[in-house]
Amino acid sequence: SQELEQSPQSLIVQEGKNLTINCTSSKTLYGLYWYKQKYGEGLIFLMMLQKGGEEKSHEKITAKLDEKKQQSSLHITASQPSHAGIYLCGADMFPYGQNFVFGPGTRLSVLP
Amino acid sequence: DGGITQSPKYLFRKEGQNVTLSCEQNLNHDAMYWYRQDPGQGLRLIYYSQIVNDFQKGDIAEGYSVSREKKESFPLTVTSAQKNPTAFYLCASSLQGTRGYTFGSGTRLTVV
């Protein structure tokens, strides 16, 4: 089984709708990173969360890390076609420094 | 502009041949990484290097080899011993001790 789970696996939304992607672990996360990937391209770093309860926003994307530091959500407000792609979470897990893992990704399509 | 360059973007290899994927960065990053991406499995770490002339195996190193003779360069060789080499390969770099990776645009390798 994956150390990081993401849900949903894929998502199709109408332009202008809000959406949420989740990243979950059974272990405590020392740092949670969100990346975006367009098909066939590299990953672009979006945000990093470290503290329980932390929340960060960039333009229309907000990421939160829960108090237990085992779950993160990525929320997109008023989605646009430019938001389409694969969103991956990545995390530092115990023991710190060696075991950075990625989730399987969530594929987002935004219909105009 | 600083960045990380992977070449070629597409690569075809015959069974039984070795092939080398190039990764060059001009970000002055200490650490460099090679990941393999397969559909539905996220990214898996092949090799990583934190300093010149030193590298460590990741989770799926079998059938691959690397070198780190220069800080800027971290080439990956996919050998004939790799049983299922067809995949999307991503190179990344980061400052020592950070996980906000900068990714290259990837190389798609197909064995024919």
Which tens digit of pLDDT belongs to each residue from A68-112?
A: 889 999 999 999 999 999 999 998 876 655 568 899 999 999 999
Q: Which residues of chain B does A38 touch, with a Cβ-Cβ cutoff of 8 Å?
A: none
Express each pLDDT in B67-112 by its tens digit.
999 999 999 999 988 889 999 999 999 887 777 789 999 999 999 8
Confidence bin at B1 (pLDDT 50/70/90)? low
Residue type, B90: L
Residue A30, pLDDT > 90, answer no
Query: Which whole number is the average pLDDT over A17-23?
Result: 98
pLDDT confidence of residue B18 = 94
Residue of B nearest to A91 (CA): B99
Bridge partner residues of B56 (DSSP)? B48
Considering only CB atoms, B42 lies closest to which of A48, A92, A105, namely A105
User: Is residue B78 within 8 angstroms of chain A, CB to CB?
Assistant: no
pLDDT confidence of residue A94 = 64
Q: Which of A70, A75, A89, A94 is nearest to A21 (CA)?
A: A75
| CA–CA gap between residue B40 and residue A20 (Å, rounded) | 19
The residues, any chain, with a CB within 8 Å of residue B34's CB and separated by 6 or more, are: B21, B23, B45, B46, B47, B48, B58, B64, B66, B74, B76, B89, B90, B91, B92
pLDDT confidence of residue B112 = 85
Q: What is the largest CA-CA distance in chain B?
A: 39
